[in-house]
Amino acid sequence: MNLYQLHSDFWRANEVETFTPSECQFYFFLLDRANAQHWAMPIRCPTGVICNALGTTKQNIGKVRTVLQRRGLISFVPGQHRNAPTTYTIIAAPERKGYSQLPNQLPNQFTLYNNIKDNNHNTIREKAVFSLSELQELLAKDKEWHRQMTVYFELQHLKPPDDFLPYFQEFFVHLGAKGYKEREETECKSHFHSWLNKKLQRQPIYDTQQPTTNQCSQRRCTPVAAKSAADYEGAF
């Protein structure tokens, strides 16, 4: 009898119908007793001993063992007197009758990454999650999205970047610094758009280019007649 398999079967049965704390406690008490006697069945154990060990009553033990027998985990023969106590037999999964095990494969409606339906019966699909390095590569290659952002920023009277790549590099450094390891693609695109929009709004809208030499030469200048320090003396 495999102790690990008994543990596994018990918790699989618990997923079908949850055991009470008392039922769990009693079952694992029997497993410990069985292990102590090298899995020789049946297990002879007076109800009073079990009550003392688990801190419960005889009435509760009667209810618990009946449930475990109904669930196909154990069988028992009630004791007749002090010298003939109740005996318990732990039943392995292949021997159980009427035991509804969980299937090895869940039905399609419960499969991971399958469709999930909400209360309105609208289909919600699992969203793929990518690492930051994968996302940076995906976003950098999406030229159609770049074009759409360019159009949007122009409509907002903002100067769109000539090259988005430096902004992607800064943005993903920003995400890494905030502790992100992975993101969903659409969510990340939305975040980048908002981040870049704020960044562009903070940039000055006027031209900061320095005047050219030709522009300076076109300005009217007053000729300087002074030739020496003495020429600057006197009233202005």
CA dihedral 129, 131, 132, 136 (to 10 degrees): -80
Tens digits of pLDDT across the chain (236 residues): 577 788 888 888 888 899 999 999 999 999 988 888 888 899 999 998 999 999 999 999 999 999 999 999 999 999 888 788 999 999 986 554 444 443 444 344 433 333 434 444 444 345 678 999 999 999 999 999 999 999 888 888 888 899 999 999 999 999 999 888 988 888 899 999 989 998 898 876 544 444 444 544 454 545 556 555 565 555 54
Type and span of the H or E element at 25: helix 21-36
pTM reported for the whole predicted model: 0.41
Can you read off the two tokens belonging to residue 48? Answer: 């009073």
Please give the pLDDT value at position 99: 43
Q: CA-to-CA distance for 102 and 235, rounded, in angstroms? A: 107
Contacts of residue 99, Cβ cutoff 8 Å, sequence gap at least 6 = 13, 71, 72, 93
DSSP annotation of 93 reads G
Type and span of the H or E element at 45: none
Can you read off the two tokens belonging to residue 76? Answer: 């028992």
Residue 66 one-letter amino acid: T
Give the phi and the psi of residue 62 in degrees, each rounded to 5.
-60, -40
Please give the pLDDT value at position 203: 75
DSSP annotation of 81 reads B
Task: Parse the chain into domains and list their residue ranges.
Answer: 3-95, 129-201
Please give the pLDDT value at position 231: 58
Assigned fold of 3-95: Arc Repressor Mutant, subunit A (1.10.10)
Can you read off the two tokens belonging to residue 164? Answer: 């988005």
- Report which of 42, 26, 22 is spatially closest to residue 34, judged by C-alpha positions: 42
Please give the pLDDT value at position 124: 38
